[in-house]
A and B are shown apart, each in its own frame.
Chain A
Amino acid sequence: MLSFAFKSMATRRAKLVMTALSMVLAAGVALLAYNISTQVSEGIVNTAAKYDIIIGPSGSATQLAMNTMFFTDKPLGTIPYAVIDDLNRSGQVNAAIPFSMGDSYNAAPIVGTDPALLSDKALLKGEMFSQPLEAVVGFDVAKTYNLNPGDQIISSHGLSHDGAAHADHPLNVVGVLKRTDTAYDNAVFTPVSTIWELHDHHDEDHDEDHDEEHDEDHDEDHDEHEEHHHAEAGEICAVLVRSKSLADYAALMNWYTDNTDYLAINPNTVLREVMDNVDLSRKIVYILCAVILVMNLFVVSVIALLNMYDSRREIALMRLIGVSMGKINRLYLIQNALTGLCAVALSLLCAHLCLWGIRGFVSRMGIVLNAARVYPLEWAILLCVFALSILPTAVLTRRMARKDSLET
C-alpha cells in the first residue's frame, strides 16, 4: 500500500508540492511570529531581575537601564569610580559592580566591568579575566568570529565598529562564556582598567592629532568625541548594585535620587514601565498572530479539502473496480499524512532558519534569539496543521463510503 501511495503521490507531485509549500508558509509564519514575540519578552524579563539599583550620571532612566541590562544605546556619561568605594564602605550593598562601555569588537560591545558581573555565568572555555587587556567573550561572539582562549582581538573606538582601531593594544581572549540566550552572548567583557588603559593611549594620540589639524576639523572631532562618553581613568559609566536589605535599598535610592549629579533607578521598575508602554503593541502583535494562525489553519484545511475533491475521480474509479473504502481511506490517509508530515517538518525548519537568520539583527539590539528553542505551543500549532492535513481525508471518504460507487 505504501508503494502505491508513493506512486499515486508521484503522479500528483506538482500539486502536492504546492500544497505542502502552502502549509509551510501558513504554519511557518505562525511559528515565527509566536517564537520571536515569546523569546523577546522572556529575554527582557530574565535579564532585568539581577540588580535592584543602577547608579549612573543624571539623564534618561530608560537609556541607563537599556544600556546596562542589554548593552544597547549609548551610556549616559560617566561617574567617578569612587562611587563604588563609597558603596562598599557604606556596608549597605552585597555587590557594587562597575560598568563601562564605549568600545566595540565588530558588532559586539566591549563592557569594562568586574568578574562579579559574570558570577552567574558559566565559562565554556578558558578562565575569567583578571588582568588589564584580558577579555572573556560571549558565546555568539566566539562562534561568529571563531575566537578561543589565546586569540587576540582588536577593539574599535566607539560602539560602531568603523571607529579607529586600538591596534597597538589588542585584547587577549582568556575565556568564552557558555550560551546564556541573553545580551551577554553578544558582548566582550574585560576589566574596567582595560578601558582606562585603552583610552589613556587613545587620548594621547587624539591630542597629537589635534595639534596638527585645522580649527574646523578640530570642532567636528570634538563633537564626535563627546558622543562616545568614554570613561577616563578613574571613571565608569554606571554601577550595578545589589543592596543588602529593603531598608538599605530605600536609603541608597533616596541618597542618589537627591543628588542631582546621579541617577539611581530600579531596573525592574524601569523595564516594567517600558514593557507597560509597549504592552498595547504586544497585545496587538499577539492578536495579529492569532488572526494569522486561524487564517492559516483555515487555508491549510481548505487546501487539503480541495486536494481531496480533486482526487474524487480517482477514488470513484478505485471503488468501481472493487477497492474497498477502507483501503482507499488508508491510501489517502497515508498520502495526506506524508504530505502533512513533510509540511510540518519543513515549517519548523523554515521558521527556525528564519529565526537563525534574523538573530544577528536582533542581537544588535541586545536580545539573543535561540534558533533551536521550540515552545510547546509551537508543537501544538504543528499538531493542528498535521491534523488538518489528514482530517478532510477522513471526512470525505466517510461521505463517499455512504454512496453507491457510481455516485462518488
Chain B
Amino acid sequence: MIKTEDLFVRFSDGSGIRYRDMRFDTGRSYALLGASGVGKSTFLNLIAGVLTPAEGRVTVDGEAVSALPQRARDLYRIRRVGYIFQDFKLLEDMTVQDNINILRLEGVDTSQMDALLDRLGLLRLKKRRVNRLSGGEKQRVAIARALIKKPAIILADEPTGNLNYETGVEVVRTLLANAGDGTLIAVTHDDRLAPMFDERADMNAVAEWVPGGEARQHA
C-alpha cells in the first residue's frame, strides 16, 4: 500500500504544490486525471523517490521512502518501481535491448526480455537503435523497460500519449495484465481510457498550486 501524507513540493522559483493525502492499495489500478500542469507528473516523481518533498512523506508498505537516503531510494526504485516516463527517458544512441539490459547493472534479471518484447511487438526491433524508432515504438520500449523487472509498483506518466486510441487501449491492457498483484498508477489525459482502471482520481482536486511568496511563508 502506498500512502502520501501532507505532501508539499517546492520548486526553484519558490512556488510549490500541496497535495491532499492519498492512498493506493496493492493489487489495484488507478488513473490520475487532470488538466495539464496541475502536478500529476510531479506526484508520480514523489512516489518514485525521484523528487524529495519539502514537507510530508510517501510511505510504501509502512516504510517512509521519501525519507530514505539517496542510495536506498535508488534501490527502492530499481527493485520495486517500474516507471514509464512521459518523455520515455531512453538512451537514444543505444539499441532497444541495451536500454533494457542497462538494468542488469543493478542485478535485474532480463532473461525474459525476448518474450516481453514479443508481447509488445518489439522483438524484430530488438537490435535497432532507439533514435531510429517512432514515438509509439519508443513508448513501448519504455514500457518494456519498466515491466521487465516485474515491479510491485508501476508508475506510468501518459503511457498512451503518443499512441492512437486503439493502440492506447492495448497498452493499458498490457499494463493492467502485467501489474498482477502490484499497484498501477497511471497519469492520463484521455478520459476514454479512465474506465479501464479500478479507481480514478481527479488531480485538479488533489493538487493545490502555492505561489512563491506563500510557499516560502509556509515553509
Contact indicator A331/B105 (Cβ below 8 Å): yes
Q: What are the residues of chain A within 8 A of B70 when measuring CB–CB?
A: 325, 401-402
Contact indicator A404/B52 (Cβ below 8 Å): yes
Contact indicator A12/B78 (Cβ below 8 Å): no
Contact indicator B94/A323 (Cβ below 8 Å): no
- Selected contact of A406 from candidates B50, B81, B104, B145, CB within 8 Å: B50
Using A321-B78, A322-B81, A406-B45 as known contacts, say yes or no to A327 and B106 having CB atoms under 8 A apart.
Answer: yes
B19 close to chain A: CB less than 8 A: no
B74 close to chain A: CB less than 8 A: yes
Contact indicator B106/A324 (Cβ below 8 Å): yes
Q: What are the residues of chain B within 8 A of A7 when measuring CB–CB?
A: 94, 98
What's the minimum C-beta distance from B110 to chain A, rounded to whole angstroms? 12
- Selected contact of A324 from candidates B71, B89, B93, B98, CB within 8 Å: B71
A167 close to chain B: CB less than 8 A: no
Contact indicator A8/B81 (Cβ below 8 Å): no
Q: What are the residues of chain B within 8 A of A322 when measuring CB–CB?
A: 74-75, 77-79, 81, 103, 106
Within 8 A of B (CB), among A258-317: 314, 317
Name the CB-closest residue of A to B145.
Answer: A321
B102 close to chain A: CB less than 8 A: yes
- Selected contact of B105 from candidates A320, A323, A401, A406, CB within 8 Å: A323
Within 8 A of B (CB), among A383-408: 401-402, 404-406
- Selected contact of A12 from candidates B81, B93, B98, B103, CB within 8 Å: B93
Contact indicator A317/B106 (Cβ below 8 Å): no
Q: What are the residues of chain A within 8 A of B78 when measuring CB–CB?
A: 321-324
What's the minimum C-beta distance from B72 to chain A, rounded to whole angstroms? 10
- Selected contact of B77 from candidates A12, A317, A321, A331, CB within 8 Å: A321
Q: What are the residues of chain B within 8 A of A326 when measuring CB–CB?
A: 71
Which secondary structure characterizes the binding site on chain A? helix
How far apart are the CA atoms of A319 and B103 in the complex, in Å? 11
Q: What are the residues of chain A within 8 A of B93 when measuring CB–CB?
A: 11-12
Q: What are the residues of chain B within 8 A of A350 when measuring CB–CB?
A: none
Contact indicator A404/B83 (Cβ below 8 Å): no
How far apart are the CA atoms of A406 and B102 in the complex, in Å? 19
Name the CB-closest residue of B to A11.
Answer: B93
A4 close to chain B: CB less than 8 A: yes
How far apart are the CA atoms of A321 and B79 in the complex, in Å? 10
Contact indicator A314/B91 (Cβ below 8 Å): yes
A1 close to chain B: CB less than 8 A: yes
B interface, how many residues as a size bin? 20 to 34
Contact indicator B50/A1 (Cβ below 8 Å): no
What's the minimum C-beta distance from A328 to chain B, rounded to whole angstroms? 8
A337 close to chain B: CB less than 8 A: no
Q: What are the residues of chain A within 8 A of B98 when measuring CB–CB?
A: 4, 7
A318 close to chain B: CB less than 8 A: yes
What's the minimum C-beta distance from B118 to chain A, rounded to whole angstroms? 22
Within 8 A of A (CB), among B47-100: 49-52, 70-71, 74-75, 77-79, 81, 83, 85, 89-91, 93-94, 98
B101 close to chain A: CB less than 8 A: yes
Q: What are the residues of chain B within 8 A of A402 when measuring CB–CB?
A: 70
A contacts with B, residue count (CB < 8 A): 24
Name the CB-closest residue of B to A331.
Answer: B105
Using A324-B106, A325-B74, A404-B50 as known contacts, say yes or no to A317 and B83 having CB atoms under 8 A apart.
Answer: no
How far apart are the CA atoms of A376 and B77 in the complex, in Å? 49
Q: What are the residues of chain B within 8 A of A11 when measuring CB–CB?
A: 91, 93-94
Q: What are the residues of chain B within 8 A of A4 when measuring CB–CB?
A: 98, 101-102, 104-105
Contact indicator A321/B103 (Cβ below 8 Å): yes
What's the minimum C-beta distance from A1 to chain B, rounded to whole angstroms? 6
Q: What are the residues of chain A within 8 A of B105 when measuring CB–CB?
A: 1, 4, 318, 323, 327, 331
How far apart are the CA atoms of A405 and B94 in the complex, in Å? 21
Q: What are the residues of chain A within 8 A of B145 when measuring CB–CB?
A: 321
Q: Mark B26-51, 1 if CB is under 8 A from A, else 0.
A: 00000000000000000001000111
Q: What are the residues of chain A within 8 A of B74 when measuring CB–CB?
A: 319, 322-325, 405
- Selected contact of A8 from candidates B50, B71, B85, B94, CB within 8 Å: B94
Within 8 A of B (CB), among A314-352: 314, 317-327, 331
What's the minimum C-beta distance from A224 to chain B, rounded to whole angstroms? 70
How far apart are the CA atoms of A323 and B89 in the complex, in Å? 13
With a 10 A CB-CB cut-off, give which of A8, A325, A405 has the most chain B CB atoms: A405
How far apart are the CA atoms of A25 and B130 in the complex, in Å? 35
28 A-B interface contacts by CB (under 8 A): A1-B105, A4-B101, A7-B94, A11-B91, A12-B93, A314-B91, A317-B89, A317-B90, A320-B50, A320-B83, A320-B89, A321-B77, A321-B83, A321-B102, A322-B77, A322-B79, A322-B106, A323-B78, A323-B105, A324-B74, A324-B75, A326-B71, A327-B105, A404-B51, A404-B52, A405-B50, A405-B51, A405-B74
For the complex of A and B, the 7 pairs showing the least CB-CB separation, nearest first, are: A322-B78, A11-B93, A322-B77, A405-B50, A324-B74, A327-B105, A317-B89
Q: List the interface of chain A (C-beta within 8 A of B).
A: 1, 4, 7-8, 11-12, 314, 317-327, 331, 401-402, 404-406
